Structure 1
Amino acid sequence: MWTSEEWVAYFEHNATNLMPIPWGAGAGATREELAEIIESLRAWQLGETSDGTRLTRAAERHAAQTYDPAYVEAIKRFIAEEQRHGEMLGRFLDLAGVPRKGRDWGDSIFRLFRHLRLRMEVWTTVVVMVEVHAMLYYAAVRRATGSAVLRRICHQILRDEVPHLRFQCERLAIIHRNRGRALRALTMGVQRVLFAGVTVAIWAGHRRALRAGGLTFRRFWGGAWAQMGKAWRAMDPRGYTWPTGRAN
């Protein structure tokens, strides 16, 4: 498990080691490809563009409670990476001559849910679930297009999402560290119900693009649960050695 200082260092390094995007090639997607994926991309791009204000406030409260001031900076760097994803997708939409979306029902629901309780556990749990599905989503979009620009964007985002999931799962392991067996079991049960709902919602909103990338609902459902199983193992505090007195 990395400390918050180590995560800050990682995000700083990653920001200067990005894959080159061949923007000069133009959108490079056929009309048929765009017809299958573009509305989904518009909605997903919107979801990547949060200003992070509420999350930063939640991180500040959590950092104060856990005596981990560097966590706030780590969260700010994480937010910056998500915003970079949104800007890359937005720039592709611009190249394709497609307007960016200002509002989407799915994005509105997820934002509302995250803001119901200003606690890191609630926010982080939802983010892990969305990012698990993002791994499947961007892989599907990459398969669905011949655009060199969009394929490289998806590759970069997928490369970023792997450490994002580790970062968030490690934080949940810290949060769950001192919970008893019964409360951990209850937490897991609630998360499973929530995850099933998120999976169905994402399929409902993005099934056309997912199908274009070769995913049936059965494959999407199975892939999502397999990925989330890895995340649950990564957020299980029993999988870590905890030095005495370590708070962060």
Structure 2
Amino acid sequence: MTLVVNDLSAGYGQLTALRNISFSVEAGEILAIIGANGAGKSTLLKTIAGQLKALTGSVVLDGEDVTALPASARARRGVLMVPEGRRLFPSLTVKENLQLGTSTGRKGAWTIETVCDLFPLVAERLNRTAGQMSGGEQQATAIARALVGNPEVMMLDEISLGLAPAIVVEFYDRLGEITKRGTAVLLVEQDVKRALSVADQVHCLLEGQTSLAGRNLDFAEIAAAYFGTEHR
């Protein structure tokens, strides 16, 4: 599996929030997308997922151009997102939220049983309504819901935001199990050092444009690209 994003631009109304972004990611890789608030990170994920229409450029999955497809069709092809804020159905139980994740119809290693093995936190709360759970419990459920769709590409938008450090460490420990099964992960994260600890490659955004991209980058280079300062 290869996801190729080429010359992608997107925006809201008259505002162009993302300009000419290009990268590729292979099966089993983690691409960390970093940048300050307002840099365009969430806009990029939404455009790849089909929630936001591209103004220019293309999104290609396994050689198929999916740029014109709606979000539902992209999900059926294995492009799934865990959005910032989780977006669970609060009145439904954890199990019911997971069952909704299987609506992609995709078959694979991830089932309700296997995601429960990955996240015991989820297994212990299957019959609890999502609205009654803590932020960490909800985030685990949101990740599990995406996994049962058996994604080719899973996009994680700020999974550590507002959570206790111990819970964040647990989530990051699970990423290896996810990528080991061939899923590519696009990881949007404010905690740059944590993202770098797991990433195979990095894409830094600044004011909607690429300020730095690559593998094995020097942290000083990354810091300069993040803040838009000159690297010395």
Please report the TM-score for the alignment, with normalisation by the length of structure 2. Answer: 0.29
Please report the TM-score for the alignment, with normalisation by the length of structure 1. Answer: 0.28
The answer to which structure has the higher helix fraction is: 1
The answer to which structure has the higher strand fraction is: 2
Higher Rg: 1
